[in-house]
Chain A
Amino acid sequence: MLLPKFDYHEPSTLEDALQLLHEMGGNAKLIAGGTDLLVRMKQKIDKPSHVISLARVPGLDEIVPRNGHAVSVGAAASADAISRHELLNDRFAPLALAASRLGSPLIRNRATIGGNLVNGRPAADLPPACMVLEATAKLKSSTAEREVSLNEFFRGPGETVIEPNELMVSIDIETPAAWSGGAYLKLGARKTLEISMVNVAVMLTLKSADGDIADARIAFGAVAPMPVRGFAAEDMLKGEKPSADLFARAGELSVGMCSPITDHRGTMEYRCMMIEVLTKRALGEAYERARAWKP
């Protein structure tokens, strides 16, 4: 399969990259890992006349803990790096887990968090994880800078709030409170190389090791035009005593938050039932991790 022709740019600073974006606007696409963009270009879905590589922009792939209370994940950090990162596995489990389930090991070595978020595919692995972690994305253009919550980032299939002249620089996450634990579950046909039929990310915070639920955040992928939060289920969980029954009820409630489609991967009916099962299970897993929380 052949790639169409394009002009290639490899800016060596962020400023240069932003300047190029500013000049080329909608005629340019950014390339980080390339595992989404190059596939779409080979399939003739995207035909940018310019491709701007982030390979030489320094610092974009770093994962930087900040002041012990947060972490900043460079947008060009690979899924592989994220999945292996000790701090992310410890405190920000949904993100590390989701990254470990993305594609295949070969894809994970190139795919980046920025790409996975900006491409805005409804079934993408990382968005629900970022949403339950209440992550914010730092977006820069040549003239401005803004931070957008990942919970307000996605608009529809392939559509996000990012402007054509903006670049995602980093994803910043506050460290979850004590007694927090997370989970990420994905349903596909095979055990790997899958685009989700349904996926669920969860973050649970307890009041204490054996305490009630202080906070709950649930997000789903592949069951709506964009990743969605399960607010109704979250509200129901808050203040409650954790139990298998409670989690089951949260699963039932979650179905109502989603509007899955029937496509050649699965029917709407099945997806709804799987939202229920996966949510219940993800809550159970998150709960176990929350109880095992160590300072």
Chain B
Amino acid sequence: MKTLIELTINGRKVESAVAPNQTLLQFLREDQGLTGSKHGCGLGDCGACTVILDNKPVNSCLVLAVQANGGEVLTIEGLAENGKLHPIQQAFVDKGSIQCGFCTPGMILSAKTLLDDNPRPTELEIRTAISGNLCRCTGYQKIVEAVQAAADAIEGTEVS
């Protein structure tokens, strides 16, 4: 039997009926048309499904939609404001951190939570923050460089 859930997705209040066995990933992709979060493995091994739930990045394939009731979800679609890329997104574009792009939304969201928490992370802290997001294309280096550049950019705008 379906349950009515109410949550905030990318700043917007959403109300929907979901089946208990529907994951948050399925709900976002299939019910809400937010296909930016990806399905890579379904078992929490790859991180392609990463979304930010109540300020924490999680594998949305291992969260039931009903568990997100009353919560706040941020997906990759919620980052750019008024068509302007978030500094992390811009840094990923500028630094060549995106090849096939399948891991990208998850990487960006893991990075965002890190920088929100820790505006001047060390390289090890960056690598640890994204250690649950697998990438097969880039070897991670340009992703790390992008997060470093984004940290600088964010710091820069705040100071000025």
Task: List chain A positions with a Cβ less than 8 A from chain B.
Answer: 1-8, 10, 31, 34-35, 38-39, 42-43, 51, 53, 55, 80, 103-107, 109-110, 191-193
**Contact in complex: A7, B44 (CB < 8 Å):** no
Please tell me if the beta carbons of A110 and B20 are within 8 angstroms of each other in the complex. Answer: no
Separation in Å of the A169 CB from the closest CB of chain B?
20
Question: Residues 62-81 of chain B: 1 if any A CB is under 8 Å from the residue's CB, otherwise 0?
Answer: 11101101000000000000
Give the residues in chain B near A8, CB-CB below 8 Å: 3, 20, 64, 66
A103 to chain B, nearest CB (A): 7
Known: A35-B62, A38-B62. 14 other contacts (CB 8 A): A1-B42, A7-B1, A39-B44, A39-B62, A42-B42, A53-B67, A104-B131, A105-B131, A106-B47, A106-B58, A106-B59, A107-B59, A110-B58, A193-B131
Q: Within the assembled complex, what's the spacing in Å between the Cα atoms of A110 and B23?
A: 14
The answer to whether B132 and A7 have CB atoms under 8 Å apart is no
> What total of chain B residues lie within 8 Å of the partner, measured CB to CB?
30
Chain A nearest Cβ from B28, distance in angstroms:
15
Which A residues are CB-close (under 8 A) to B19?
5
CA distance A192 to B130 in the complex (A): 11
Is B94 located at the chain interface by the 8 A CB criterion?
no
A residues less than 8 Å from B1 (CB atoms) = 7
A53 to chain B: closest residue by CB? B67
- On whether the beta carbons of B132 and A192 are closer than 8 Å, the reply is yes
Nearest to B54 among chain A residues (CB) is A109
Closest residue of A by beta carbon distance from B42: A1
Scoring A31, A34, A38, A39 by chain B CB atoms within 10 A of each residue's CB, the highest score goes to A38
Distance from A143 Cβ to chain B, minimum over Cβ atoms (Å): 28
How many angstroms between the C-alpha atoms of A19 and B22 in the bound complex?
25
Contact partner of B132 among A1, A4, A105, CB < 8 A?
Answer: A105
Contact of A110 among B21, B59, B110, B133 (CB under 8 A): B59
Residue of B nearest to A38 (CB): B62
Q: How far is the CB of A212 from chain B (nearest CB, A)?
A: 36
A218 CA to B120 CA, complexed, in Å: 37
CB neighbours (8 Å) of B66 from chain A are 8, 10, 53
- Is B45 an interface residue, CB under 8 A from the partner? yes
Shortest distance between the CB of A99 and any CB in chain B (Å): 14
B43 at the interface (CB under 8 A from A): yes
Least Cβ–Cβ distance between B136 and chain A, in angstroms: 14
Q: A6-B20, A35-B44, A51-B20 are in contact. Are A109 and B57 (CB under 8 A)?
A: yes
Partner of B56, one of A35, A38, A80: A80
A sample of 16 cross-chain residue pairs with beta-carbon separation below 8 angstroms, ordered by A number, consists of A2-B21, A8-B64, A10-B66, A34-B62, A34-B67, A43-B43, A51-B20, A53-B64, A53-B67, A103-B132, A105-B110, A105-B132, A106-B132, A107-B59, A107-B62, A110-B59
Q: Are B45 and A193 within 8 A (Cβ)?
A: yes
| Interchain CA distance A6-B45 in the complex, whole Å | 24
Question: CB of B50 within 8 A of chain A?
Answer: yes
How distant is the Cα of A106 from the Cα of B114 in the complex, in angstroms? 12
Which residues of A lie under 8 Å from residue B132 when comparing CB positions? 103-107, 192-193
Complex Cα gap A39–B45 (Å): 10
Q: Specify which chain B residues have a CB less than 8 angstroms from the CB of A34 in the assembled complex.
A: 62-64, 67
Residues of A within 8 A of B129 (CB): 105
Hey, which chain A residues are within 8 Å of B44, CB to CB?
A: 35, 39, 103-104, 106-107
Closest to B134 in A: A193
Closest beta carbon of chain A to B63's beta carbon, Å: 7
When the two chains form the complex, which single residue of A1, A51, A106 contacts B50, counting CB atoms closer than 8 Å?
A106
Cβ contact within 8 Å between A42 and B43 = yes
B127 to chain A, nearest CB (A): 9
Residues of chain A contacted by B43 (CB below 8 angstroms) = 1, 39, 42-43
Residues of B with C-beta under 8 A to A38: 23, 62, 64
**What is the CA–CA distance of A35 and B61 in the complex, to the nearest angstrom?**
9
The CA of A109 and the CA of B60, in the complex, are separated in Å by 11
In the bound complex, residues from chain B placing their C-beta under 8 Å from that of A2 are 21
Cα–Cα, bound, A35→B43 (Å): 8
- Tell whether, in the assembled complex, residue A7 and residue B58 are in contact, meaning their CB atoms are under 8 Å apart: no
